[in-house]
Amino acid sequence: MSNLNAPHFQDPDKARQYLEAVRWPNGPVCPHCGSMEGHYAIQGKSARPGLYKCKDCREQFTVTVGTVFERSKIGLHVWLQAVYLLCSSKKGISSKQIERMLGVTYKTAWFMTHRIREAMASSPDGLLGGGGGTVEADETYWGKKPGTVKRRGYAHKNPVVSLVERGGKVRSFHVANVKVSTIKEILVSNMDKSANLMTDEAYAYTIAGREFASHGVVAHGKKEYSRGNNHTNTIEGYFSIFKRGMVGTYHKCGEQHLQRYANEFDFRYNHRSALGVDDIQRTEAALKGIGGKRLTYRRIGVTQAQEITP
């Protein structure tokens, strides 16, 4: 954790300057009106460091206004430490561990990690599998749906459908069910028509697979896991990281928060070292996503215990 010794992880002013450089590489941008030029810093003993005034809308702002850090009483350098820890831990890091390492309360640590997960969420950027690429699709199951009884099978569990482009990125979706209509909507909305789809023999994928250039199938029910280029080993590898993190690090996750946890694992996979991204670059990518994603206690449901870690 030698990176945590960097000045911006230890000093609030250095943290602010670092965040400004990451978010505003070409100078301050007003979060109120979007204006990008002519802002001036407000000086004086009563002005807090990093305070600017917009030349157009005349509103005051800092680098944290309109972000998940806005109005937080926690030091900005502590926030940056939390972001780094969550970004550099392959299988996640629990709120209890954040509490111990950063010296905050568990409630504060839990709220911080959910805000950071919100920053990690990103809008889909283009379609997967363009130019004849290969996309693997599969689903996994987690936890227990509210009001259901635990029994054999998956009917009582929460489904997560994921698509991963070989050598590329992954997208995961917490869905209510794994029906043909649900699967088809996800695949058609996120995959290029020229893509080659790879799945197991589930009927929902067989129907949706007709929309794409080709559809390779491996029959897991017959103990077939690879046949030439036909396999789902990439998506199974991603699910192994996701499930190990959820089981070994977070232990329990409420259904209403499952998509945020999926976003967290997607983010780290999409900014993995195999793509030439190191821990610092991954942290900066998360910091670039903090704008326009404020979370309140009411929205996050902080009064409900969703994560249990010894």
pLDDT at residue 292 greater than cutoff 90: no
pLDDT at residue 176 greater than cutoff 50: yes
**Virtual CA dihedral for 267, 272, 278, 284, nearest 10 degrees?**
-20
pTM of the model: 0.91
pLDDT band for position 155 (cuts 50, 70, 90): confident
Share of the chain above pLDDT 90, in %: 80
pLDDT band for position 297 (cuts 50, 70, 90): low
Tokens of 242: 């996701």
Helix axes 106-120, 258-270, angle to 10 degrees: 60
d(CA 183, CA 177): 9
**Virtual CA dihedral for 276, 281, 285, 290, nearest 10 degrees?**
160
Tokens of 12: 């609030």
Better-scored residue on pLDDT, 237 or 152: 237
DSSP states of the chain: -GGGGSGGGT-HHHHHHHHHHHH-TTS---TTT---S--EEPPSTTSPTT-EE-TTT--EE-TTTTBTTTT--S-HHHHHHHHHHHHH-TT---HHHHHHHHT--HHHHHHHHHHHHHHH-----S-BTTTT-EEEEEEEEES--TT----SSSTTSEEEEEEEETTS-EEEEE-S---HHHHHHHHHHHB-TTPEEEEES-HHHHHHGGGSSEEEEE-GGGT--EETTEE-HHHHHHHHHHHHHIIIII----GGGHHHHHHHHHHHHHT-GGGT--HHHHHHHHHTT-BT----HHHHTTTS------
Model confidence pLDDT, tens digit, residues 209-245: 999 999 999 999 898 999 989 999 999 999 999 999 9
Model confidence pLDDT, tens digit, residues 248-284: 999 989 899 999 999 999 999 999 999 999 999 999 9
- Write down all domains in the chain, each with its CATH number in brackets: 134-253 (3.30.420.10)
Model confidence pLDDT, tens digit, residues 42-72: 988 888 899 999 999 999 999 999 999 999 9
Max CA distance (Å), the chain: 74
Residues with Cβ within 8 Å of 237's Cβ and at least 6 positions away in sequence, in order, are: none
d(CA 246, CA 262): 10
- Return the minimum-mean-pLDDT range out of 110-124, 159-173, 287-301: 287-301
d(CA 238, CA 244): 10
- Do 142 and 173 form a contact (C-beta atoms < 8 A)? no
d(CA 222, CA 146): 33
Tokens of 280: 């610092």
